[in-house]
A and B are shown apart, each in its own frame.
Chain A
Amino acid sequence: AQSVTQLDSQVPVFEEAPVELRCNYSSSVSVYLFWYVQYPNQGLQLLLKYLSGSTLVESINGFEAEFNKSQTSFHLRKPSVHISDTAEYFCAVGISGSARQLTFGSGTQLTVLP
């Protein structure tokens, strides 16, 4: 079975500073990887995904993540954060052909400070 570890439960960072949210996974087969964002009392929104091809994937609001197969990681980065990036971020892994589809990490609360 696959699993996902998000190493930091809370990440405070000042506005305009860079940030990295860490995600490691374990799986014996090929995986698909996702980052979702959740604002308070809302559902999850897809931020970006790795399915195949280029290992560096980007979102429309400046986040990027790099799939590193040897390190089994999919860390999320942004070079300069804004107050509006304050949210909880979830890493998820999926297995091709798996009916249940996704396994989620425990989440990282990103708080951007003025």
Chain B
Amino acid sequence: DGGITQSPKYLFRKEGQNVTLSCEQNLNHDAMYWYRQDPGQGLRLIYYSQIVNDFQKGDIAEGYSVSREKKESFPLTVTSAQKNPTAFYLCASSPRPLAGAYNEQFFGPGTRLTVL
């Protein structure tokens, strides 16, 4: 089955530790995204990548880092510099839009990170 997988579903870390969240897709999509979800705030874009070896900061990139070494993988590292990392993290992907067209984003099941 084609889709997006995120692991693990729940993650606990001590304050001051870096942690990496996994996101893999087998949809052959060019673009991938990381969002952070907090209650009452909707989804906020952390980083996005349109092609391999290229990515851009979103609205709340401070304290996070990403890599895009393979088309199907877009891991997110939450560093100790992120002041309030406890949140629900969602990964998404979409095909590269053709000129004048638009593609929906497909979401993974999410990872809930709790920093103790």
By a beta-carbon cutoff of 8 Å, the part of chain A in contact with chain B is: 6, 9, 32, 34, 36, 41-46, 49, 51, 90, 94, 96-97, 99-102, 104-107
Contacts and interface: CB of A to CB of B under 8 A. Distances in A.
Given A99-B56, A100-B58, A105 B42 contact: yes
B115 to A, nearest CB: 18
Interface size class of B (residues with CB under 8 A): 20 to 34
Contacts of A101: 31, 33, 48, 94, 97, 105
A43 B104 contact: no
A51 B102 CA distance: 7
A43 B108 contact: yes
Q: Classify the secondary structure of B's interface with A.
A: strand
Interface of B: 4, 6, 31, 33, 35, 40-45, 48, 50, 56, 58, 88, 90, 92, 94, 97, 99-100, 102, 104-110, 112
Contacts of B97: 96-97, 101
A106 B41 contact: yes
Contacts of B106: 46
Contacts of A42: 109-110
A107 B41 CA distance: 7
Nearest to B107: A43
B35, B42, B50, B109 — most chain A CB neighbours (10 Å)? B42
A96 B102 contact: yes
A107 B94 CA distance: 21
A45 B110 CA distance: 12
Contact of B107 (A6, A44, A94, A107): A44
